[in-house]
């Protein structure tokens, strides 16, 4: 049997199970223990995020954000149609109406220039999604936020260790620009814990309430710091915190962040260089990384010229035991939302739904594997 090259393969740094054993031996495996704190500190010190809170998923981090900005029924939230369902669901669960923006021509990220026309007196927030870990046009988005007094929640699910370079020349980590942001550690991400996520609080006005909502609506954390003399139910909330088992796993990954990133970037560059000739012949398009963005090598995708071409490509690779996969279907055309959408055509989003395909990308992918994949195009 020929070797199968999967789309994704979770990478283990080697310490995951021993840290889990350590957590278990400590007698503390529910949330907010030693490993959770190590992970929080790592992100806060490496990226300068004001406050980090691990969650059971990126979805849950987005739900925390929706609660924190106090989304009420009828509020409008602007986000790309070309995104994962959780980006939208987190706000729909609070009663929001989703106003879908189109992607750019040449880049699946939402077209920041198109946002202003979508803003109404009901608009409460903009949710840019940094697709493939490549930054959205954050200067434009933050300027709209200031002009119209809107919250910005970055969906940084794919954006760990990636940056935005502003007009002022300052390089800012993605997830550290909006008022709040959400990361994912799902098994398909660069850094993983199976399922898992993190809320980042950049605007300090949310810090205290974020901790309360995270702790099921109680002021338990303040109590254990000795700031209040008893703890009780003070707000809405949920059980957003993951167990120490999950946090211990994540910590083992974070210790190897640099090594993982270097390896992924090498794979990404090999694809990029190897596929240039096809790009030049107009057979397919490659990712465009704007001057304001960096590349965290979360994903290597190509964009075909048509659905038919993509179907044939996926099929052809599959016949050689190589698993390449398409990605989102435009949310504004979904069975759940097509009747709620305002009818605007979002042709770029539909285009990426039809033509984008993601190639295998994981730590243990070999140079020869990538060479083989490129040759099959």
Residues of the shown chain interacting with a second copy in the complex, contacts defined by CB under 8 A:
6, 9-10, 12, 16-17, 20-21, 24, 27-31, 56-60, 63, 67, 73, 84-86, 88-90, 92-93, 186-188, 192-196, 216-218, 230, 232-239, 241-246, 249, 329, 331, 334-337
Rounded to 5 degrees, φ, ψ at 68 are: -65, -40
Residues 6+ apart with CB under 8 A from 91: 62, 66, 71, 77, 79, 98, 125, 127
Map tokens 């963005």 to a residue: 293
CA distance 67 to 91: 9
Rank residues 34 and 285 by Cβ distance to a second copy and give the closer one: 34
Whether the Cβ atoms of residue 107 and residue 291 lie closer than 8 Å to each other: no
Closest distance between a second copy and the C-beta of residue 334, in Å? 4
Rank residues 85 and 119 by Cβ distance to a second copy and give the closer one: 85
Widest pairwise Cα distance in the chain: 70
Rank residues 150 and 180 by Cβ distance to a second copy and give the closer one: 180
Closest distance between a second copy and the C-beta of residue 292, in Å? 30
Rank residues 134 and 248 by Cβ distance to a second copy and give the closer one: 248
CA distance 6 to 177: 34
Rank residues 86 and 294 by Cβ distance to a second copy and give the closer one: 86
Closest distance between a second copy and the C-beta of residue 333, in Å? 9
Give the residue among 356, 210, 213, 362 at the shortest CA–CA distance from 287.
356
Closest distance between a second copy and the C-beta of residue 118, in Å? 20
Closest distance between a second copy and the C-beta of residue 140, in Å? 27
Rank residues 243 and 295 by Cβ distance to a second copy and give the closer one: 243
Closest distance between a second copy and the C-beta of residue 241, in Å? 7
Give the residue among 157, 174, 176, 194 at the shortest CA–CA distance from 61.
157
Angle formed by the axes of helices 257-274 and 367-375, nearest 10°: 30
Closest distance between a second copy and the C-beta of residue 183, in Å? 13
CA distance 228 to 336: 45
CA 166 to chain centre: 20
Rank residues 91 and 163 by Cβ distance to a second copy and give the closer one: 91
């Amino acid at each position: 049997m020929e070797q199968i090259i999967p789309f994704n393969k979770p990478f283990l740094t080697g310490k995951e199970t021993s840290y889990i054993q350590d957590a278990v031996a400590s007698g503390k495996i529910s949330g907010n223990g030693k490993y959770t704190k190590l992970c929080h500190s790592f992100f806060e010190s490496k990226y300068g995020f004001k406050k980090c809170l691990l969650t059971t998923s990126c979805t849950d981090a987005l739900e925390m954000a929706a609660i924190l900005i106090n989304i009420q029924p009828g509020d409008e939230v602007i986000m790309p149609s070309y995104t994962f369902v959780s980006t939208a669901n987190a706000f729909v669960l609070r009663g929001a109406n989703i106003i879908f923006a189109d992607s750019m021509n040449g880049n699946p990220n939402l077209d920041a220039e198109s946002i202003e026309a979508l803003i109404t007196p009901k608009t409460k927030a903009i949710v840019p999604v940094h697709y493939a870990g490549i930054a959205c046009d954050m200067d434009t988005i933050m300027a709209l936020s200031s002009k119209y007094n809107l919250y910005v929640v970055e969906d940084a699910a794919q954006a760990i260790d990636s940056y935005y370079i502003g007009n002022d020349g300052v390089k800012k980590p993605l997830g550290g620009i909006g008022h709040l942001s959400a990361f994912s550690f799902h098994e398909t991400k660069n850094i993983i814990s199976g399922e898992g996520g993190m809320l980042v609080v950049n605007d300090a006005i949310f810090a205290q309430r974020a901790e309360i909502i995270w702790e099921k609506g109680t002021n338990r954390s303040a109590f254990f710091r000795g700031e209040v003399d008893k703890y009780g139910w003070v707000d809405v909330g949920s059980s957003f915190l993951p167990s120490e088992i999950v946090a211990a796993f994540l910590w083992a990954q974070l210790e190897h962040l640099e090594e993982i990133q270097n390896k992924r970037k090498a794979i990404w560059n090999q694809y990029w260089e190897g596929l240039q000739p096809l790009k030049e012949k107009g057979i397919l398009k490659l990712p465009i990384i704007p001057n304001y963005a960096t590349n965290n090598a979360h994903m290597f995708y190509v964009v075909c010229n048509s659905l038919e071409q993509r179907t044939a490509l996926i099929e052809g690779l599959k016949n050689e035991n190589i698993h390449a996969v398409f990605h989102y279907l435009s949310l504004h055309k979904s069975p759940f939302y097509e009747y709620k959408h305002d009818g605007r055509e979002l042709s770029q989003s539909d285009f990426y739904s039809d033509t984008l395909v993601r190639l295998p990308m994981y730590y243990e992918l070999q140079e020869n594997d990538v060479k083989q994949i490129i040759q099959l195009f």
